[in-house]
Amino acid sequence: CPPSQAQRMHDGIPNSELIIFERCGHYPFYEVPDEFFRVVSEWFKKHN
């Protein structure tokens, strides 16, 4: 979805986190894997 829609969903979900990857479409794990897995790893460390 467009970033504006992602922001609306984020605003409606308590305690959610919104990460927008620049130069990326629907597959951040494929299009920007280093950045994606860094963010995922940080999330797991924070919520473990």
**Alpha-carbon span 29 to 13, nearest angstrom:** 23
**DSSP designation for 14:** T
Secondary structure (3-state) at 24: coil
pLDDT in tens, 22-45: 989 899 999 999 999 999 999 999
pLDDT of residue 32: 97
d(CA 25, CA 43): 21
Contact present, 29 and 36 (Cβ < 8 Å): yes
Which pTM was predicted? 0.77
Q: How far apart, in whole angstroms, are the C-alpha atoms of residue 2 and residue 25?
A: 10
CB 32, CB 24: distance < 8 Å: yes
